Amino acid sequence: MPSEDEARNLAPRNGAFWVYLSTVAAAGITLIATTLMHLTGHDFLVMGASFVVVAALLVLGELRPLMTAGSPDANGVSTSTAFVFALLIHWGLGVALLMQTVATILADAVRQKAPWRTAFNVGQYGVSFAGAWLALRLFGHNPTPHHPMSVDGAVLPAIALAALVYFIVNNGLVSQALALRNHSGLRNEFFNNWTYQVASTGALVGLAPIVVIVMERGPVLVPLLLLPLFAVYATAAMSLEREQQSLHDMLTGLPNRKLLFQHARGAIEDAAAEGRQVALCLLDLDRFKEINDTLGHQVGDTLLSLVGRRLASTVRPQDTVARLGGDEFAIVLEGIDDRQDALDLAELVRSALAAPFRTDGMSFEIEGSIGVAIYPEHGADFETLLQRADVAMYVAKDRNTGIEVYSSDTDRHSTMRLGMLAELRSALDNNELELHYQPKADLRTGDVVGVEALLRWRHAERGMVPPDEFIPLAEQTGLMRHITQFVVDEALHQLSVWWKSGLRVQAAVNVCARDLYDRDFAAFLRSRLDHHGVPARALMVEVTESVLMADPARAASTLLSLADLGVGVSLDDFGTGNSSLVHLTRLPDSEVKIDRSFVMRMDVHDDDAAIVRSIIELSTALGLRVVAEGVETRESWDRLAVYGCDAAQGWYLAKAMPADEVSRWLADFTRRAAAYSTLGPQERRSALA
């Protein structure tokens, strides 16, 4: 991003601005030239060493402005004003304008300001100090090197008026220039940062009479003014450091959320004026927690610092990279023309992360998920863009796509989904939710060994709503707890009916991350088992691999409690996540379910068949029962039996059915099993299937 000074050097295409700038510069320079004509070499001899010392301090003050926290000007506040004003009230306008002009030209040259800016600055100060001099003349004061004005109580009103005139004229001239340049109002520019301008200018001109008093005592005492100035500079430096700390992340040195908001707000204002777009990218590192947990926070912090540096070096100069906390970063992309520009830059960032990070002799490969929200398409303010970039980022993480642009269709907080959430609450109260049960059978004997309870929503208008449309929404709210309670109670009630009628099947219920990380979950299951009079072994809890691996320590605590209770644990969707075998061997899983995506492609893809066979062999070696989901053909059924899979479920055996239908199916299956009890295992399995 170009600095404020560099941006100001860009010449605006505004005729009125140039007419005004030329007029002020010409008027000021004419005043300066006219005034300097009255100065002679003898004047400088009269002023002597005091002038030399004050002039040196004046130039130093202009070259080294005072940088304070909260300053609206990136160039800071020039302390030279105090010394120029002191020269004005002690030795007159000519001496003051001479030194102000010299200091301004030197400072602008050092800062590489455009010549037209220097001309305006010189003219502006010339007119402003001339106005202050006229205020002194109104009180009858006309100081010169030969007739200097002393400071006492009688001249303070004149000095106060001169200071007021200087402030109003100087601020007015600059404000008019800004109004013409920015196409804004003079009043808005004049009163912009009003409090800060009054305080800083008032403090500096208030110091001028003290400078005069010291000058009158002799040049030897003038350097004593350096002591309070040093104190002011030191205090300002400390405040600036505190501001720096408050606006930047201590670990990476990147802007924090507060500074990001300021930059984003400015970028949005500029984009609105220029008719362009701004993109906000939210980046979350994938599986960073594993590094922290395995190698410690010190390595994690070092890695975050390296990531911050790489991100900052990857984006364009006008873009802003910030760390929001943890392993989450944000990037404001300014001046983009369309969505593709944002996606190209986001892809560049993600590609930069792909190169290995090396620290302490170790190499790390990191990936990130990026959500993108664009102004004005997805929001008109920073808060909205941040919220929607967050939504897109989680979609990218869930879908494993790397980069996603915000879409209201995937926003859990969109109007449609909020409406669905309200309807889901009503569905719980109005008994619109129900459980269907899909049987699973032993591949060796063909016997039914259990059922999986699957939640369904029978909507009055939409019909049967698939669970993947409402479960993710419920998982983000407290409503999921009530849904889990409903599922557990409904399944246990049905188990109670079956066990009392002699059908000793096991029912599996799916639980989410909220359930698994709830310390009271095992106690809840115990109370509901007791309430329905169902033995713990009749219930199995299914957890997905991704939920289990997200926080293995917390998951293990709950699963161990379930194992102590006697409830079975099944690891669902195995093979689709990033399981650690170390974690897997330490968790009390009693069953592993091979994801249907592998099973359904097993007959046509050798790679998938190899994966299925490997999972079966691995799980068997670990002493785990293996269940295959999605078995839809006789060929798959027989192949799984050959591979040594323990059980299977899918449409080849039976689809998911409501409780009354599955009860009849189980009763009929039991009768057939009794009729084929004299057959061998293979013939019996074939007959039942």
pLDDT 10s digits, 228-280: 667 666 665 676 566 566 678 888 888 888 888 888 888 888 888 778 899 99
pLDDT digits (tens, 9 = 90+) for 484-513: 999 999 999 999 999 998 888 999 999 887
Cα separation, 430 vs 42, in Å, equals 102
Q: Name the DSSP letter for residue 576.
A: S
Confidence of residue 414 (pLDDT cuts 50, 70, 90): low
pLDDT surpasses 50 at 601: yes
Sign of dihedral through CA atoms 552, 557, 560, 566? negative
Q: Which helix (H) or strand (E) holds 623?
A: none
* pLDDT at residue 270 in the model: 83
Structure confidence at residue 437 (pLDDT): 95
594 and 612 Cβ atoms separated by less than 8 Å: yes
Q: Are 315 and 370 in contact (CB under 8 A)?
A: no
pLDDT of residue 467: 83
Instruction: Walk me through the domains of the chain, giving residue ranges and CATH numbers.
Output: 4-246 (1.10.1760.20), 257-410 (3.30.70.270), 416-688 (3.20.20.450)
Q: Does residue 71 surpass a pLDDT of 60? A: no
pLDDT at 42 over 80: yes
User: Averaged over 89-97, what is the pLDDT?
Assistant: 94
Q: Which DSSP category does 225 fall into?
A: G
pLDDT in the model for residue 19: 93
| The total number of residues written for the chain in this structure | 689
Share of the chain residues as helix, strand and coil, in percent rounded to the nearest 5:
60, 15, 25
Whole-number pLDDT of residue 673: 62
What's the CA gap between 61 and 54, in Å, rounded? 10
> Comparing 683 with 649, which gets the higher pLDDT?
649
Question: What torsion do the CA atoms of 107, 110, 113, 118 make, to the nearest 10 degrees?
Answer: 30
Say if residue 172's pLDDT is above 70.
yes
- Please indicate whether residue 576 or residue 433 has the higher confidence score (pLDDT): 433
Q: 138, 142, 144, 191: which is closest to 160 by C-alpha? A: 138
Q: What is the pLDDT of residue 580?
A: 47
- Considering only residues 177 and 69, tell me which one the structure prediction assigns the higher pLDDT: 177
Three-class SS of 482-534:
HHHHHHHHHHHHHHHHHHHCCCCCEEEEECCHHHHCCCCHHHHHHHHHHHHCC
- Give the least confident one: 99-103, 210-214, 542-546, 683-687: 683-687
Q: Is the pLDDT of residue 415 over 80?
A: no
Task: Measure the N-to-C terminal CA separation of the chain; round to a whole number of Å.
Answer: 69
Q: What is the pLDDT of residue 417?
A: 65
Contacts of 475 (CB under 8 A, 6+ apart): 512, 513, 514
Q: How many CB atoms lie within 10 A of CB 4?
A: 11
* Tokens of residue 296, six digits: 């410690």
Task: Decide if 332 contacts 280 (C-beta within 8 A).
Answer: yes
- For 278-334, write each residue's pLDDT tens digit: 999 999 888 777 677 667 778 888 888 999 999 999 988 888 999 988 889 999 999
Q: Which stretch, 119-128, 294-303, 462-471, 516-525, has highest mean pLDDT? A: 119-128
CB 516 within 8 A of CB 548: yes
Mean pLDDT, the chain, integer: 84
Does 158 have pLDDT greater than 90?
Answer: yes
pLDDT of residue 585: 62
In this structure, of 199-203, 218-222, 404-408, 439-443, the range with the lowest mean pLDDT score is 218-222
Phi, psi of 527 (to 5 degrees): -65, -40
- Residue located via tokens 């100081």: 143
Q: Which of 212-216, 537-541, 634-638 has the lowest mean pLDDT?
A: 212-216
Q: Can you tell me which residue has the tokens 């013409």?
A: 180
Q: Predicted confidence band at 643 (pLDDT cuts at 50, 70, 90)?
A: very high
pLDDT at residue 2, as a whole number: 46
Band (pLDDT 50/70/90 cuts) for residue 1 is: very low
What is the mean pLDDT of the segment spanning 209-221? Answer: 82
- CA angle, 584 then 368 then 573, to 5°: 35
pLDDT confidence of residue 22: 93
Least confident of 14-18, 665-669, 677-681: 677-681
CA distance 248 to 256: 5
Determine the average pLDDT of the residues in 512-519: 79
Cα separation, 486 vs 465, in Å, equals: 17
CB atoms under 10 Å from CB of 91, counted, come to 27
Token couple for 237 = 């430096």
CA–CA dist 222, 57 (Å, integer): 9
DSSP 220: T
When mean pLDDT is compared over 112-116, 186-190, 370-374, the highest value belongs to 370-374
Prediction pTM value: 0.49
Q: How far is CA 147 from the centre of its chain?
A: 64
Q: Give the tokens for residue 298.
A: 């010190």
Between CA 392 and CA 397 the distance in angstroms is 9
Mean pLDDT of 333-339: 87
DSSP 8-state secondary structure symbol assigned to residue 375: E
| CA Rg value for the chain | 39
* Contacts (Cβ under 8 Å, ≥6 apart) of 472: 412
Residue-level pLDDT at 147: 93
